[in-house]
Amino acid sequence: MNYDVIISGGGLLGLITAIGLSNDSVSVAVIEKNNLPHVIDDNRAFAISQGSKKILEKLGIWQFVESEAEPIFDICILDGNSPITVHYNHKMVGAEPMGYIINNVIIWNAINNNFLSKLNIYFPRSYKTIACDSGCVEVTLDNNQQSISSLLICAEGKNSKLPELFSMPVMKFDYRQSSIVFNVEHELHHQNLAVEWFFPGGPLAILPMKGGYASSIVWTERSEISKMLMNLPEEEFIIELKKRFGSYFGEIKLEGERKSYPLSFAFAKRLHKSRVLLIGDAAHSIHPVAGQGLNLGIRDVESVIRQITAARASGVDIGSSYLLKKISRDRYFDNFTMALATDGLDRIFSNRIFCTKALRNFGLIVVENSDFLKKYLIRHAMGLR
């Protein structure tokens, strides 16, 4: 079969790219190694920035999740037991919320029920060989089926082997931390406030969920502590959690399962080679400290769709190194600064050295008292440039 674009990886970003390109009459095939629709059992919720919402709206996806998206009006940053806090209020930059919390299941249901049947998807399949020449990419699947396209987009997530296969250098390291993700029901209303609470082992994020009396928690700790916490019975886990939470929400109750995600960093030094382009976590897997990984990937997707559509309209080869360089240039600064900022935040706040502690307290005071800095940081977190 011949396609304009083949996407390897049918996770959220691979499928959103396929939906967007198909909307613009670009012929697309997706290769996914697992069965689809994915069975979602991870209890996760995503923080979706205002900028991502606008992109998903344009792609015709947002309307299917909107009614289940809980707005974030304020964000509060806390540093352990320090009384110094930074409070961001959405009204500083406009009337719209700073972002939304959406359950993973809601996003997947929207895609499964409204788009999956319209896409050309090969599953459960992976590539056996990929051959690129100056005119096309030839992909042979593990069942020996062959497809040809002008461009191969790699959306295989952080463990993709494709960069290695194409000798694309990727900077990688292990954070030696894991995030435990779970939901809690609580006595007091969350007031649509998202909290990032920094502790020496890592941040604890409290994300407001639909209804007002439930929150999604992302509790990051050093790997060995996370392992221990995961093995605790529910009652003891709640006791440990309350040591961090205090009486913040009144009485709290665990809702559903806990799931643990080991954290690692990966950053591709170049996003393209031959006719292959990396997007999403295959290009940049960042620390979840600010809930920005998917948002960054959604901005990759926007750039890819915009530039491929424009190139096609003007007769430019969509797998040409000219176009792939253009997309890479468009994405590099945003990807690099977000990877650096999230990594830096985790390092600065996990540091117990007195001077660093004093410096970060000073930093928090400066931010809390500077409307200019606050507005800049809010706009950045909202994905608005």
Ligand X SMILES: Cc1cc2nc3c(=O)[nH]c(=O)nc-3n(C[C@H](O)[C@H](O)[C@H](O)COP(=O)(O)OP(=O)(O)OC[C@H]3O[C@@H](n4cnc5c(N)ncnc54)[C@H](O)[C@@H]3O)c2cc1C
Q: Tell me: does residue 51 bind ligand X (CB under 6 A).
A: no
Instruction: Report the nearest approach of ligand X to the CB of residue 196 (Å).
Output: 11
Using CA atoms, how far apart are residues 93 and 257, in angstroms rounded to an integer? Answer: 37
Decide if residue 30 touches ligand X (CB under 6 A): no
**In contact, 102 and 108? CB cutoff 8 Å:** no
Sign of CA dihedral 47, 28, 34, 133: negative
Least distance to ligand X, CB of residue 318, Å: 20
> In the stretch 139-178, what mask flags binding to ligand X with x, by CB under 6 A?
----------------xxx--x------------------
Smaller CB distance to ligand X: residue 198 or 312?
198
For ligand X, the closer CB: 14 or 319: 14
H helices within the chain, ranges in order?
12-23, 50-58, 104-114, 162-165, 223-231, 234-245, 293-313, 321-350, 354-368, 371-381
Residue 13 is a binding residue for ligand X (CB under 6 A) = yes
Return the residues of window 293-312 that contact ligand X according to CB under 6 A. Answer: 293-295, 297
User: Which amino acid does the sequence have at 317?
Assistant: D
DSSP string, 280-349: GGGTEE--GGGS-HHHHHHHHHHHHHHHHHHHHHTT--TTSHHHHHHHHHHHHHHHHHHHHHHHHHHHHH
Is-contact 216 183, C-beta < 8 A?
Answer: yes
Of 199, 206, 289, which Cα lies nearest the Cα of 248?
A: 206
For residue 280, state whether it binds ligand X (rule: CB under 6 A). Answer: yes
Taking the complex as a whole, how short is the minimal distance between the CB of residue 288 and ligand X, in angstroms?
4
Q: Which stretch binds ligand X (CB under 6 A): 5-13, 82-90, 167-175, 191-199?
A: 5-13
Among 259, 11, 376, CA closest to 159: 11
Stretch that binds ligand X, among 8-16, 69-77, 305-313, 342-350 (CB under 6 A): 8-16
Residue of 130, 181, 301, 305 interacting with ligand X (CB under 6 A): 181
Q: Give the residue closest to ligand X by C-beta.
A: 11
Shortest separation between residue 281's beta carbon and ligand X, angstroms: 4
Shortest Cβ 301–ligand X spacing (Å): 9
Judge contact between 41 and 104, C-beta under 8 A: no
Q: For residue 153, give the nearest of 37, 311, 327 by alpha carbon.
A: 327
- Of 252 and 286, nearer to ligand X (C-beta) is 286
> Are the beta carbons of 43 and 256 closer than 8 angstroms?
yes
Which amino acid, residue 340? Answer: L
Number of residues that bind ligand X (CB under 6 A): 31
Given 5, 7, 21, 31, the residue binding ligand X (CB under 6 A)? 31
Least distance from ligand X to the Cβ atom of residue 179, Å: 4
Give the one residue of 32, 196, 221, 330 binding ligand X; rule: CB under 6 A. Answer: 32
Interaction between residue 179 and ligand X (CB under 6 A): yes
Binds ligand X (CB under 6 A): choice among 70, 79, 196, 281: 281
Residue 14 makes contact with ligand X by CB under 6 A: yes
Task: Report the residue from 261, 270, 317, 384 that binds ligand X according to the rule CB under 6 A.
Answer: 261
Closest CB to ligand X among residues 10, 319: 10
Residue 68, amino acid: E
Stretch that binds ligand X, among 29-37, 81-89, 311-319, 360-368 (CB under 6 A): 29-37
CA distances in angstroms from 63 to 67, 69, 73, 98, listed in the order given = 8, 10, 20, 18
Distance CA 363, CA 287 (A): 21
Q: By the criterion CB under 6 A, which residues form the site for ligand X?
A: 8-14, 31-34, 46-47, 126, 155-157, 160, 179, 181, 218, 261, 280-281, 288, 291-295, 297
